[in-house]
Amino acid sequence: MQTSFDTLTPLARAAVPVSSAAFAPELVLWEDTLPGGAHWSGRINRGTTLRFTDVEGAANLSALFYNVEQTTERYNMPDTLKAQHTAFLTKGHALYSDMGRVLCSIPEDSCGWHDSVCGLLDAARSQAKYGSGRYQELRNAMHRNARDGLLIELGKWGLDKRDLVANVNFFSKAVADDEGALHFDTAHRKPGQYVDLRFEMNTLVVLSAAQHPLDPNPLYDPKPVKITAWRSGIAGADDVCRRLCAENDRGFINTARWFL
Amino acid sequence: MPAQILESSLAPAHAVLDQVCAAGEPWMGRVAKGQVFRITDLEGNQAVDTLFYNAADIGERYSLTHTIQAQGGLYLGVGTQIMSSEARPMLTIVADTCGRHDTLGGACACESNTVRYALEKRYMHSCRDNFLTALASDAASATPTGLTKRDIVSNINFFMNVPVTPAGKLTFEDGISAPGKYVEMRAEMDVIVLVSNCPQLNNPCNGYNPTPVRFLVWDAH
């Protein structure tokens, strides 16, 4: 018999709640707003959810995730996509590490599509697209690019470019045609759209709110992202992400074993 | 970019390296700037999981996102510049008789096999075990590269077919490769090549029958 949630021992099943909490204002732990182009990193523990909100309707949030207890374990784009037979992320999906565990999952999402394959811009390509934007002239309105933003944050944790892997771009949508050519969907983003990332592991979260690499806007005009951290608990036995597919049922079992 | 078939004029008799890699084995080698590197799918439908590193700086390595961005599309074929994490061309695909290669599917690992198939599948051989075998052997060699698990990033799967639909669905389909099909690339910098000749038996990426592949290298001409 193959292992599934229903075959677990009573003690292993008892470590899983019936459900995680639904969002409520009294569950909020803290809030912050990442200005457009800014970068951020922090430790988010198992059982906490980050709600990202596209305040103005044209934000992009590039993100990477690491097991904070063992940072060679990190978000793995191919493992995430092939386990769930999808090229994008939305409600019900889990974000897998390379070790077969769920770093975080998406129990709620008003956007419907988050890009997983397009990557980000570095300093040279950002400057080629948007021109120069130095601190000397612009002070804190200076241009920031996603790669340097992520590298700055990784550096704070003793990590470097060797730890930089394919990132998620929350809020952004790029569709592949039959030949594989990618087309950015500007109509996809709307003010107030949000996505919940519920953390199933103690995770180093690294973020940049710089523009998406395929964003056709020729101007440097990155938009802010509101972060709301709230206490949700982990995915329950009835959870939409756990129940999405047999693959996720097994991924959540692997994840629980890290903590049992 | 439509799949394009372009044959090579290079003769195996003139190659400076000619090695066969058995099914399910790792392979590690070096290709110098200007040399041409060919992978031949000897028996057909064989996924060849491949990573490239700048031989002068292992921190610069193959990047799927840079490669996708540079060509504005998902699939690799003739004309594709295989890009590094520093946004520089590492190799250029100069001949291809298969027509399409994947870079979204990554490599199989014991751990991802537990998720995708069953916890009980953990002990089957996998590409990541191949990569780590090659790196352990490399670390014990006279000239270690310094590569470790940290450096195993998302790879190219030559001869593998992973179509993405406009609705965003991603599937592993039967290969479009066949016996004797090959892909050939010219190195634009000195590169270290790390390969797992994929041992996956749980999906059609190897036609449920992993088989040998052949590596050839020609000097610049």
Q: Give per-residue pLDDT as tens, A37-52.
A: 999 999 999 999 999 9
Give the domain range for residue A94.
5-18+40-118+163-212+222-259
Q: Mind listing the pLDDT tens digit for each residue in B145-188?
A: 999 999 999 999 999 999 999 999 998 787 789 999 999 999 99
For residue A49, the Cα-to-chain-centroid distance in whole angstroms is 11
Whether residue A73 lies inside any domain: the answer is yes
pTM above 0.90, yes or no: yes
Whether residue A167 lies inside any domain: the answer is yes
- pLDDT exceeds cutoff 80 at A74: yes
- Selecting from A77, A88, A96 the residue whose C-beta is nearest the C-beta of B115 gives A96
Whether residue A27 lies inside any domain: the answer is no
Whether residue A124 lies inside any domain: the answer is no
Is residue A151 helix, strand or coil? helix
Going by their DSSP bridges, the two strands A102-109 and A114-115 should be labelled as unpaired
In this prediction, residue B176 carries a pLDDT of: 83
Main-chain dihedrals φ then ψ at residue A75, nearest 5 degrees? -50, 135
**How far A198 CA sits from the closest chain B CA (Å)?**
19
Instruction: Scan residues 19-58 of B and list those with Cβ closer than 8 Å to A.
Output: 58
For chain A, the average pLDDT equals 97
Whole-number Å distance between alpha carbons of B82 and B186: 10
DSSP character for A188? G
Please tell me the total count of domains within chain A.
1
- pLDDT exceeds cutoff 90 at A162: yes
Whether residue A78 lies inside any domain: the answer is yes
CA distances from A32 to A155, A167, A224 (A): 22, 22, 10
ipTM value? 0.96
- DSSP codes of every residue in B109-134: -HHHHHHHT-GGGGGS--HHHHHHHH
Q: Mind listing the pLDDT tens digit for each residue in B47-74?
A: 999 999 999 999 999 999 999 999 999 9
**How far B69 CA sits from the closest chain A CA (Å)?**
6
Q: Is A21 on the interface with B (CB under 8 A)?
A: no
**How far A28 CA sits from the closest chain B CA (Å)?**
32
Whether residue A255 lies inside any domain: the answer is yes
* Closest of A1, A8, A20 to residue A249, by C-alpha: A8
Whole-number Å distance between alpha carbons of B127 and B144: 21
% chain B with pLDDT above 90 = 92
CA distances from B168 to A75, A87, A173, B32, B164 (A): 20, 5, 10, 38, 6
- pLDDT exceeds cutoff 60 at B2: no
- pLDDT exceeds cutoff 70 at A218: yes
* Closest of B52, B92, B36 to residue B219, by C-alpha: B36
